[in-house]
Amino acid sequence: MSTYKGEWGSGFLASCTPQVRAQAGVAILFRKGLAINFIGEGGKDKNGRVVWSLVEINTKVLLIIGVYAPSQGDNPEFFKDEVFPILDDVDYDHVIIG
């Protein structure tokens, strides 16, 4: 991950499982030179499933959430317990969940 962080700089946010051969991982990449202001630290989980950032673009505050969802399906409680609470914890104008 340090290689990618070096390429993308502060525009690279990621979360992955701690194993050498990670079974889960998600990243949000912001193009260098994009007129964006990061608001606060953002956040991520410890299981490589969720990463999020609060950013300002053109005076609008966007909450951007990246989610790793396994191809074989998922426990619906994951979204209720891990993803949706983020929506209640910060103030934003628009939200993007990918």
Give per-residue pLDDT as tens, 37-81. Answer: 999 778 888 788 899 999 999 999 999 999 987 666 667 788 888
At residue 22, the pLDDT reads 63
Q: Quick check: 6 pLDDT over 90?
A: no
CATH superfamily entry for domain 2-97: Endonuclease/exonuclease/phosphatase (3.60.10.10)
Q: Which residue has the tokens 């962080």?
A: 5
Residue 10 pLDDT > 70 = no
pTM: 0.81
Residue at 95: amino acid letter: V
Q: How confident is the model at residue 12 (pLDDT cuts 50, 70, 90)?
A: confident
Cα–Cα dist 67/45, whole Å: 10
Instruction: Look at the alpha carbons of 75, 78, 80, 81 in this order and tell me if their dihedral is positive or negative.
Output: positive
Quickly state the pLDDT bin for 14 (edges 50, 70, 90): confident
